[in-house]
Amino acid sequence: MNDEQCVRFLQWALPQLHMRWPGYRKVRRQVCKRVDRRIRELGLDGVDSYQSWLNQNDDEWRHLDACCRITISRFYRDRAVFDALADHVLPVLADTARRRGDTVLRIWSAGCGSGEEPYTLAVIWHNELRERFPGMGIEIVATDADPKVLRRAREGRYDFGSLKELPRRLRERAFYRDDDVYELKPEYRRGVRFVEQDIREGQPDGCFDLVLCRNLVFTYFDEGRQREVLRRITATMHDGAALVLGAHEHLPDDESGLCAWFEGHSIHRRESAVRCRSE
């Protein structure tokens, strides 16, 4: 499949999956390589034949949907976001939870990929914040629809490319190194639970103090599905809880009950008696 065929196919297929072509523009070759592989598995002679196959076989859309999952992830991805979480957001949320009488800060990492995002939060908490909040623990529920990446997440083993953005001091404290493989120490895995779940079909039981939904819903889904998923996300959040999007993502215009908190970092807060502020 050449690039022109790839673009034409995705522009035809993605809207039928409630996906947005603009979100896939830069990652289209990753998707089309998978589609090429699927075409060969079916013994078809090209993308036009595959399009006809989709029109005749409703079940095939499930396979195409799996081809469209983008699993790019790294520890401390978008450093400014994690710096803001460590320096400002998590301390405020922990204080709020403590005043509420809770002893656990509950976090949901949606579309967690191979575990880099939830493990980054665990590393930050244990090294930067735990001593400031004695008696307060964290519980992280990490969800993804792809069982393959979840298996890797549970193993907790990564190459340096996944860790290059993690500050060196945290990397040296949190990982064992075996040649070119870095293995996360057990104390950082405790409290992180991985669940196979498609965010379009369900969500973990709330209530959460922090939800991270980065580079997924508000990049790849069409606006109707964005609104649908956003309603369910906010239903899992405490008043005053925070929602973190990807660095280049924006919420659809609606009455979600969220307002910009650290606007430059795509961090929003659910409205409550605590007045939201932009920083």
What DSSP assignment string belongs to the chain? Answer: --HHHHHHHHHHHGGGGTB-HHHHGGGHHHHHHHHHHHHHHHT-SSHHHHHHHHHH-TTHHHHHHHHT------TT-SHHHHHHIIIIIHHHHHHHHHHHT-SEEEEEEET-TTTHHHHHHHHHIIIIIGGGSTT-EEEEEEEES-HHHHHHHHHTEEEHHHHTTS-HHHHHHHEEEETTEEEE-HHHHTTEEEEE--TTT------EEEEE--SSHHHHB-HHHHHHHHHHHHHTEEEEEEEE--TT----SS--SEEEEEGGGTEEEE-SSSPP---
Q: Where in the chain is the domain with CATH 3.40.50.150?
A: 79-270
Confidence grade of residue 279 (pLDDT, cut at 50, 70, 90) = very low
Q: What is the pLDDT of residue 272?
A: 66
Structure tokens at 121: 């939060």
Task: Give mean pLDDT, residues 96-107.
Answer: 95
Q: What is the pLDDT of residue 137?
A: 95
Closest CA to 159 of 143, 185, 172, 178: 178
> pLDDT tens digits, residue range 166-177?
999 999 999 999
- Least-confidence region, from 158-162, 244-248, 273-277: 273-277
pTM to 2 decimal places: 0.93
Closest CA to 108 of 31, 193, 187, 182: 193
Q: What is the pLDDT of residue 255?
A: 60
* Percentage of residues in the chain having pLDDT higher than 90: 87
Q: What is the pLDDT of residue 103?
A: 96
Cis-peptide into 112, omega within 30 deg: no
Which is it for strands 192-196 and 258-262: parallel, antiparallel or unpaired?
Answer: unpaired
Task: Give mean pLDDT, residues 134-163.
Answer: 96
Mean pLDDT of all residues in the chain? Answer: 93
Confidence grade of residue 262 (pLDDT, cut at 50, 70, 90) = confident
Alpha carbon dihedral 260, 263, 266, 268, in 10-degree steps, equals -20
> pLDDT tens digits, residue range 34-75?
999 999 999 999 999 999 999 999 999 999 999 999 988 899
- pLDDT of residue 7 exceeding 90: yes
Question: Residue 218, Cβ neighbours under 10 Å: how many?
Answer: 22
Q: What is the pLDDT of residue 201?
A: 94
Task: Give mean pLDDT, residues 72-100.
Answer: 94
Report the CATH number of the 79-270 domain: 3.40.50.150
Task: Give mean pLDDT, residues 134-160.
Answer: 96
Task: Give mean pLDDT, residues 8-27.
Answer: 96
Task: Give mean pLDDT, residues 118-130.
Answer: 97
